[in-house]
Amino acid sequence: MTDLVAQGLAEPPLIDPKKTFADVTADVSAPMEKKPGMLWKVFFGLSVLLTLQFFAEIAYQMVKGIGIWGLNHPVGWAVDITSFVFWIGIGHAGTLISAILHLFRQRWRTAINRSAEAMTIFAVMTAGLFPLIHLGRTWFAYWLIPYPNVRFLWVNFRSPLVWDVFAVSTYLTISLCFWYTGLIPDFASIRDRSTGWRRGIYGVLSLGWRGSERHWQHYERAYMMLAGLSTPLVLSVHSIVSFDFATSILPGWHTTIFPPYFVAGAIFSGFAMVVTLLVILRKVFKMEEYVTIHHLENMNKIILVTGMMVGYAYATEFFVAMYSGNPFERFTFLNRAGGPFAWSYWIMVTCNVISPQVFWFKRFRRSLPVMFVISLLVNVGMWFERFTIIVTSLHRDFLPSAWSYYKPTIFDYSVIVGSFGFFFMWFLLFCRFFPTISMAEVKSVLWSAKKTAEGKSKEPMAEETVHA
Amino acid sequence: MSHVDGGPKPPKYWARPVDLEAAALPENAMQEFAQPSDAVALDAADPPSRREFLKLLGAGAAFAAAGCARKPVEKILPYVHAPEELVPGVPVYYASTCGDCPAGCGVLVKTREGRPIKLEGNKAHPLNKGALCPRGQASLLNLYDPDRLQGPLLYGRGKGSNKPATWQAVDQKVTQALGEARGRGKVVLLSGTVTSPTTMALVKQFLASYPNSEHVVYDPVSQDALLKAQELMYGARAVPRYRLDKADLLVTLGADPLGTMISPVEYARDFYGRRRPEMGPMMRVIAIEPISSLTGTNADERLRVRPDHLYPVAMAIAHELLVAKPRGAAAPGGATAVVGTFEAATVERRAGLPFGTIARLADELWAARGKSLVMAGSQAAPAEQAVPLQVAAGLLNSILGNEGVTVDGSHPSRQAAGSEEAVLQLVERMRAGEIGALLVYGVNPAYTLPPALGFAEALARVPFTLSFADRVDETAALADVIAPDAHYLESWNDYEPRAGVRSLGQPAIAPLYDVRQIQDSLIVWSGGAPAGTSGSWHAYLRDRWRNDVYPSANAAAGFDLWWEGVLREGVQVAQGADSNGSARSFRGEAMTSLPPLKTGGDTEGLQLALYTPVTVYDGRFANNAWLQELPDPMSKCTWDNYVAIAPSRAKALGVWEYEMKADVVTVDVGHAKFDLPVHVAPGLHPDVVGIAIGYGRTAAGRVGNGVGQNAYRLAEATAGRIGMSGIPVRLTKTGRVAPLAVVQMHHTTDHRPIVYDATYAEYQRDPRAGIEEPTHLPSMWTPHEYNGYKWGMAVDLTTCIGCSACMVACMVENNVPVVGKSIVLRGREMHWIRIDRYYSGNADDPDFAYQPMLCQQCENAPCETVCPVLATVHSSEGLNIQVYNRCVGTRYCSNNCPYKVRRFNWFEYSNIKEKSLRLALNPDVTVRSRGVMEKCTFCVQRIRDGKEHAKAMGTRVQDGDIVTACQQTCPTDAIIFGDLNDPKSRIAQFAKNGRGYHVLAELNTRPRITYQTKIRNREGGGSA
Amino acid sequence: MLNPFARKPAPTRGVLALYDDPDKLLHAAALAREHGFADLDAYTPYAVHGLSEALGVRKSWVPWVTLVMGLTGACLALTFEIWTSAFDWPINVGGKPMISLPAFIPITFEGGVLIGGTMTLAALLLACGLPNLAKPILDRDLTNDRFGLWVPEIGPEWNEQRVIQLLRGTHAEDIRVVRV
């Protein structure tokens, strides 16, 4: 067995078989039971500060107007929608890892799905802010929801923005259901090992779960169903986000390959973000034994693949533009690569296409520093991908007379960093108060690991006794 | 004001039957409603002046107040019991005359509940025939200018008080001061051209009461050279009537008849009549000019020559006609002799014109003899050549037999009378202390005269100075007394811009402030009512018309009836005023004024060419935000003047213009220098530096102060002339970069399907020449039906001259906000209609194309599909409507608009701090709040109005009933609006005619605006 | 269990056997079942495979809820879109037909997923009778590292001693009688 592992023909154990079930519960609950460390406090304080300035910016903007941003006449969207798409993209890996890997019985997911799902939810929450604050009259944002009103006005179901409203809210809701369903048994475990008010709180959170087999098999099926629903949902959400652009007539936006291209990009950036987070998380909360290098390597492989998908999409776009012979298309893409915003285009290409190539080498795939840096680069690259698509297409479209340039203001930067603060604030809270790893699932993995370790010795006994 | 003194309330232009009823308002009716409306008045605007205003306008004012303060309806309930005369919400039109420049175009003042809100050209007026220029449109804002003086000042040259004085005090001071002046020396009235015969008469009477007093007339934008030349050639110092409508070939020598010369709207209207290919043989225009003027950029052929070569070129053409290739033309005596030295080859070599150009020009002119017209700019040539250039032009016209046909001296224009000599002498005599009192009216010499003259110092030696300025401008700041004249919309006046064309100016509103029009002041100061008049200026005016004009009109009606008729029409044209002219005899002695060709080499280096911008004109509009934000048609630059230089020259100097900013250079003419950003202007002669006058005001007001640099400082006074061109100038790079608020930063169509052009020849062969449009555009679904009205518009790129009057008209009509330089610099100007200007051909000498770009009202509107909240949808008449109240401001519509004609309210532009400015708002159009998208609506309020009117009449809207603001003011009829479902309508025909195409048709947005190809009247193929 | 609303008289006491190993549990469960004990249940920290078969628990009906509700959601969404855009207030938007079917598909799908997903969770809670904080916890380690077999008292022939006897041979760590 071990030599097979060495040859890489068999999966190495996802967890050290010597661990007991009790160890798992103890290790995972540990961060929730002791005082937070210095590192956590520093990170949390920082992200709270960023969040505060974020909301200060929003308040000022509500008073003064969108004009405080650098937007201008041709460029009606820039940082706002860029960040929206970016965070929605981040929000994809979570549910994807959980749902798709669950359906494909990829058991290595168990160590990472919980934090990934949490990331999804917080990323979507962050993303959700942007469509709101980018409005000229945010206080009327609820007009995008079809509700009966005295003017008998509904919404325009032909508008991708309305699709967004439905897609994103659905995605958030379903991800929450999925996440919470997964959490119930773990809350129960924590309830049963804690006392006092914590027992009370986790008791309520666990809804009184007792691990009855009759419940377990409803649970298993329901979880499967949610996974089944989430998988197409994940794909649909980012496709719909891409429709914002694909269904318009703007050269550079009006592109049929956007849905797959955006989904690949989303998975790409999502996994990168998970890697970024886990590399820190496993260190800070001593989870190395659960989130092993093997897990991370698997994700790096996915980053490599999706990275190349994205790269392929860039190439296709360019080729189609040139091949189509459409002067507007041609110009737009030449303008991307060589125009005033070429810098952002080449940042995008370097970070998204070139940098992941190092993952061809096992050494780098398994090296924490390398994967950390790469994952950061990928996130930068993916932010600029959206920026490139949005701004370079807008600033020079059909009539040269209307062409212009876009210069961000201090407030644009403020919302960018602010959104990161907001996201990390939630994530750090999650690490403190929720089980960051799905105990129940890890235990099942642990059991099979033990089995594999002990070899076939145990089974026959079990078998015959059953038939006896 | 007359109707206060119990004179008859001004009758108004007969617009609708309902208006007829609104005859004179009985006094008691006014009193009755003055009281309740006062309550509103207090928070409406500055109490004292406004309450005055209310008393005068009675109930109407209640609405004005309510309108601008947006008071709840209850406030004006008393009005329910109002007299039927004034119908709330129904505009009242007064016929009047635009008084902000001497052109004197007829206007209809649209008033709503007592306040003027829009100016429209008066169709009945023979000069502008219903059109207005951008300045005329914007002059409404001068009325509401918050920087106007609120009353007379005993200013004491700055030492006196800034608080408004009483008119009694002023009258005392003035009569006393003038009395003293009698002894001290001359009493001089310094004014711009006054086209009002009655005012001139009054001035004469006034001055008559002072020994050796004088009236000096001076125009900063001067036609003196032309006048002088006319005097030399024909004995009469008067501008002839130039008849572009009779010209097959127009050759301009540095003249800009379509832009700012004498009577631009009149010329433009005559011009377009000969330029629309559908309407008979097309006029050909050849512009010979140093800088690219509005006329030049619309010419079929442009020849770039330095200012000092204009005269030689003109003479060389004459030489070609008379000597080189004699055609037996009847030339004035001695002509052949003077032109002798001007061989074509030499001149061509010096002027850098291709060999044979002059011969060709001569042939073309000769071929069109009697039907051609040569116009020369009075300030385009160096001072010493200004008059000779004009004489040369006159000579050509007379050789070609244009005299009496296209140049009509028998109906002279009164629109320019200023004499540079006179003003220069005046300054000398002021310095010599010969002037006892100086009254300044309508001009601003302290700002417009070259500082080298030292007007200010000279003025210090004049014991008493009075200014009639409506603000403490550069000159008024040096005056003892400022007696602010009323705005022309508050004044009675008459105008005679052309002999026999007499129009009246009647107040559309009582003075907003405690101001008094100059004529009333003069009457008072000349010891009350002059002989044979009954007191007020209004009476004086009526009497003069009764005695001088009425008899000649030989009207059947009695005077009062006739007078009211004239007021309604706004203009009275004497018999034969429009008849053809007769040739005048050319005086041989004029030849002596023509110097021979300069021997020896030319002066090297750069030459200055100061030009008059179509926006702020000579600077009198500097405080007019509408015009400051109006992009210059050629440069597309707002809120600034700049150093225009040719690309090749810019490269040589190592300076350039970047997006929204440009390198700053030092302009140095020796006696003056200043720093200004450059503008790289293709089409300029590489040796020429073009700078606009009218900027750099220091006392214009909050808007105009410190905008740009005062280019008058570069002008030079030599030999009794003020030179604006050909002055040697040095440019040095400063290394600094300054912001330049341009609204268009890319200047070619990049071979995109935006502007199509063709030559006249090509057009005659195939009307669709030049158009490359997809013939078949497949669609996924069947288009919607439009069975009722189907509104559409046609824009003719051939006749559009880019004057930008439509842009201002649109701003006035639709309450489009002015955002200011800093916001324009961020690319957020708000114009609903813009004029795109594209260059084609080679960069040094390009072709120009102007293209009005506004909402195309696409039937498959991309903006509508993407709006999440249905804030922009399609009406049953095919309008792309924008529901401001529903808009949440996603800006998605703008992103998805291929024409980028939507405008977003980035900040709260609608809360206007200055209350007086609120009065200019059009109550029929919503004021958009922050965070809302806005755009052209085809003037939907006018469409509604027209439909309701038709409904009341029980008919369908007739073609021409509904006129959009841009169409209404267009001097060249380039914009046509109407119902596409009405086969007889003009729009239907235009949409069908051969030249029609759609911008970006391949996108299949199915625009409702049909553009007409630009036809250039020249040989060979057109360049797209 | 097909009818979640069927209420049986809840057993008042039963025997709980604790194991440290899921295999032992499986074995014991099978044994107990062979000996005809009904309504068996087990409490485990995680879902042990084969347990429901061993205990003879019927398959869950939750997936049906997902399917039905998903389809319902989709239909509702589409109907709503068509009604508002083409019937309640038809407006010409961008020259598109009143019923622009392609444009209505995304929300149709989302509607299906939304209703389907939320209803699945609801069904799960309903099926498990959650939330239910009242029920006592039989043993704290059952959510940690112990696997418990629960043989409730059903019918008169149920004999405490017999159950304990039976389970003695299944390497149970502990066997206790619990009153609930």
Give me the interface pTM, i.e. the ipTM. Answer: 0.89
Residue C3 contacts B, CB cutoff 8 Å: no
Please tell me which residue, B773 or B447, carries the higher pLDDT value. B447
Residue A339 contacts B, CB cutoff 8 Å: no
pLDDT at A171: 93
Question: Rounded to a whole number, what is the distance in Å from the CA of A61 to chain B's nearest CA?
Answer: 10
Question: Rounded to a whole number, what is the distance in Å from the CA of C85 to chain B's nearest CA?
Answer: 11
Write the pLDDT tens digit of every residue in A7-27.
Answer: 444 566 677 777 888 888 888
- What DSSP designation does C83 have? I
8 Å CB contact of A213 and C41: yes
pLDDT at B33: 36
Among the partner-chain residues B783, B870, B875, the one whose CB lies closest to the CB of C95 is B783
Residue C134 contacts A, CB cutoff 8 Å: yes
Q: Answer whether residue C172 shows pLDDT above 90.
A: no
Among the partner-chain residues B744, B866, B1005, the one whose CB lies closest to the CB of A160 is B866
Subunits adjacent to chain A (3 or more Cβ pairs under 8 Å): B, C
The answer to whether the beta carbons of residues B859 and B875 sit under 8 Å apart is: no
8 Å CB contact of B874 and C96: no
CA angle at B922 for the pair B921 and B927, rounded to the nearest 5°: 70
pLDDT at B863: 94
pLDDT at A26: 82
Instruction: Name the residue with tokens 């235990």.
Output: A443
Among the partner-chain residues B837, B890, B900, the one whose CB lies closest to the CB of A73 is B900
- Lowest mean pLDDT, pick from B52-66, B480-494, B838-852, C131-145: B52-66
Please tell me which residue, B634 or B575, carries the higher pLDDT value. B634
Q: Answer whether residue B543 shows pLDDT above 50.
A: yes
pLDDT at B57: 43
Residue C92 contacts B, CB cutoff 8 Å: yes
Chain C, residues 4-23, CB within 8 A of chain A, namely: 22-23
Euclidean distance between CA atoms A174 and A229, whole angstroms: 9
Q: Which of A95, A152, A157, A165 to mutate to test the interface with C (most CBs of C within 10 A)?
A: A157
CA distances A146 to A407, B274, B872, C85, C138, Å, are: 36, 57, 17, 11, 49
Contacts (Cβ under 8 Å, ≥6 apart) of B151:
B164, B165, B484, B513, B514, B515
Give bridge partners of residue B836 from the DSSP assignment.
Answer: B851
pLDDT at C134: 79
3 state DSSP class of C172: coil
Which chain C residue shows the shortest CA-CA distance from B782?
C97
pLDDT at B588: 83
Q: Which two tokens stand for residue B152?
A: 């007379």
Write the pLDDT tens digit of every residue in B877-901.
Answer: 999 999 999 999 999 999 999 999 9
Contacts of C91 in chain B (CB under 8 A): 870, 873-874
Q: Answer whether residue B604 shows pLDDT above 80.
A: no
Which chain C residue shows the shortest CA-CA distance from A216?
C47
Among the partner-chain residues A67, A155, A404, the one whose CB lies closest to the CB of B745 is A404
Averaged pLDDT for residues B966-978: 94
Question: Rounded to a whole number, what is the distance in Å from the CA of C99 to chain B's nearest CA?
Answer: 11
Note the helical H segments in A388-438. Answer: 393-395, 410-433
Q: Answer whether residue B45 shows pLDDT above 60.
A: no
Write the pLDDT tens digit of every residue in A182-240.
Answer: 999 999 998 888 888 888 889 899 998 888 888 898 998 999 899 999 989 999 999 99
Residue C35 contacts A, CB cutoff 8 Å: no
Give bridge partners of residue C176 from the DSSP assignment.
Answer: C16
Contacts of A403 in chain B (CB under 8 A): 745-746
Confidence band of B829 (pLDDT split at 50, 70, 90) = very high
Contacts of A329 in chain B (CB under 8 A): none
Which chain B residue shows the shortest CA-CA distance from A400?
B746
pLDDT at B89: 80
**Under the phi-then-psi rule, with left for phi > 0, alpha for psi from -120 to 50, and beta for the rest, what region is B402?**
alpha
Contacts of A162 in chain B (CB under 8 A): 868
Largest separation between any pair of C-alpha atoms in chain C: 82
Residue C42 contacts A, CB cutoff 8 Å: yes
Contacts of B861 in chain C (CB under 8 A): 94-95
Please tell me which residue, B389 or A439, carries the higher pLDDT value. B389
pLDDT at B843: 82
Which chain B residue shows the shortest CA-CA distance from C95?
B860
Please tell me which residue, B737 or A287, carries the higher pLDDT value. B737
Q: What percent of chain A has pLDDT over 70?
A: 94
8 Å CB contact of B873 and C97: no
Question: Rounded to a whole number, what is the distance in Å from the CA of C108 to chain B's nearest CA?
Answer: 17
Residue A334 contacts B, CB cutoff 8 Å: no
Residue type present at position A149: N
8 Å CB contact of C120 and A458: no
User: What DSSP string describes B195-260?
Assistant: --HHHHHHHHHHHHTSTT-EEEE--SS--HHHHHHHHHHHS--SEEEE-GGG-SEEEEES--TTTT
Question: Rounded to a whole number, what is the distance in Å from the CA of B8 to chain A's nearest CA?
Answer: 50
Confidence band of C8 (pLDDT split at 50, 70, 90) = low
User: Does the CA dihedral A302-A308-A314-A319 come out positive or negative?
Assistant: negative
CB atoms within 10 A of CB B195: 27
pLDDT at C5: 56
Confidence band of B392 (pLDDT split at 50, 70, 90) = very high
Write the pLDDT tens digit of every residue in A358-387.
Answer: 999 999 998 889 999 999 999 999 999 999
How big is the A-C interface in CB pairs under 8 Å? 212
Residue B492: CA count within 13 A, CB half-sphere:
23
Question: Rounded to a whole number, what is the distance in Å from the CA of C94 to chain B's nearest CA?
Answer: 4
The answer to whether the beta carbons of residues B691 and B643 sit under 8 Å apart is: yes
8 Å CB contact of C52 and A216: yes
Residue closest to B591 by CA, chosen among B808, B856, B394, B788: B394
Averaged pLDDT for residues B215-238: 92
Calculate the average pLDDT of chain B: 86
Question: Rounded to a whole number, what is the distance in Å from the CA of B740 to chain A's nearest CA?
Answer: 14
pLDDT at B77: 40
Q: What percent of chain A has pLDDT over 90?
A: 54
Question: Rounded to a whole number, what is the distance in Å from the CA of B786 to chain C's nearest CA?
Answer: 11
Q: Which helix (H) or strand (E) holds B93?
A: strand B92-97
Question: Rounded to a whole number, what is the distance in Å from the CA of C3 to chain A's nearest CA?
Answer: 13
- In chain C, what is the straight-line distance between the N-terminal and C-terminal CA atoms, in Å? 21
Which chain A residue shows the shortest CA-CA distance from B893?
A76
pLDDT at A291: 84
pLDDT at B76: 36
Write the pLDDT tens digit of every residue in A37-48.
Answer: 888 899 899 999
Cis peptide, bond prior to residue B484, ω within 30 of zero: no
Averaged pLDDT for residues B841-866: 92
pLDDT at A459: 45
Residue type present at position B876: S
Subunits adjacent to chain B (3 or more Cβ pairs under 8 Å): A, C
Q: Which of B743, B866, B934 to mutate to test the interface with A (most CBs of A within 10 A)?
A: B866
Confidence band of C148 (pLDDT split at 50, 70, 90) = confident
Write the pLDDT tens digit of every residue in B656-683.
Answer: 998 889 999 999 998 899 999 999 999 8
Q: Answer whether residue B325 shows pLDDT above 60.
A: yes
Euclidean distance between CA atoms A63 and B468, whole angstroms: 44
Question: Rounded to a whole number, what is the distance in Å from the CA of B1005 to chain A's nearest CA?
Answer: 10
Q: Which two tokens stand for residue A46?
A: 């920082």
Contacts (Cβ under 8 Å, ≥6 apart) of B853:
A399, A401, B833, B834, B835, B836, B899, B901, B999
Contacts of A165 in chain B (CB under 8 A): 868
Note the helical H segments in chain C. Answer: 22-34, 51-55, 62-82, 101-128, 160-168
Which chain B residue shows the shortest CA-CA distance from C103?
B865
pLDDT at B70: 37
Subunits adjacent to chain C (3 or more Cβ pairs under 8 Å): A, B
Q: Answer whether residue B592 shows pLDDT above 90.
A: no
8 Å CB contact of B874 and C91: yes
Q: Answer whether residue B60 shows pLDDT above 60.
A: no
Write the pLDDT tens digit of every residue in B905-958.
Answer: 999 998 888 888 888 999 999 999 999 999 999 999 999 999 999 999 999 999
Among the partner-chain residues B746, B868, B904, the one whose CB lies closest to the CB of A401 is B746
pTM for the model: 0.88
Which chain B residue shows the shortest CA-CA distance from C99?
B781
Averaged pLDDT for residues B384-395: 92
pLDDT at B19: 37
Write the pLDDT tens digit of every residue in A412-460.
Answer: 999 999 999 999 999 999 988 888 888 888 888 888 877 777 764 444 4
Contacts (Cβ under 8 Å, ≥6 apart) of B159:
none
Q: Answer whether residue B152 shows pLDDT above 80.
A: yes
Q: Which helix (H) or strand (E) holds A309?
A: helix A293-324
Averaged pLDDT for residues B336-349: 87
Euclidean distance between CA atoms B858 and B1007, whole angstroms: 4
Calculate the average pLDDT of chain A: 87
pLDDT at B488: 93
Q: What percent of chain B has pLDDT over 70?
A: 90
Write the pLDDT tens digit of every residue in B626-645.
Answer: 999 999 999 999 999 999 99
Confidence band of B54 (pLDDT split at 50, 70, 90) = very low
Averaged pLDDT for residues B211-224: 90
Averaged pLDDT for residues C53-58: 82
Confidence band of A31 (pLDDT split at 50, 70, 90) = confident
Contacts of A229 in chain C (CB under 8 A): 66, 70, 113, 116-117, 120
Residue C88 contacts B, CB cutoff 8 Å: no
pLDDT at B326: 84
Residue C68 contacts A, CB cutoff 8 Å: no
Q: Answer whether residue B9 shows pLDDT above 60.
A: no
Averaged pLDDT for residues A136-156: 91
Give bridge partners of residue A69 from the DSSP assignment.
Answer: none
In what side-by-side order are the strands of the sheet with B284-289? B301-304, B284-289, B249-253, B372-376
8 Å CB contact of B900 and A402: yes
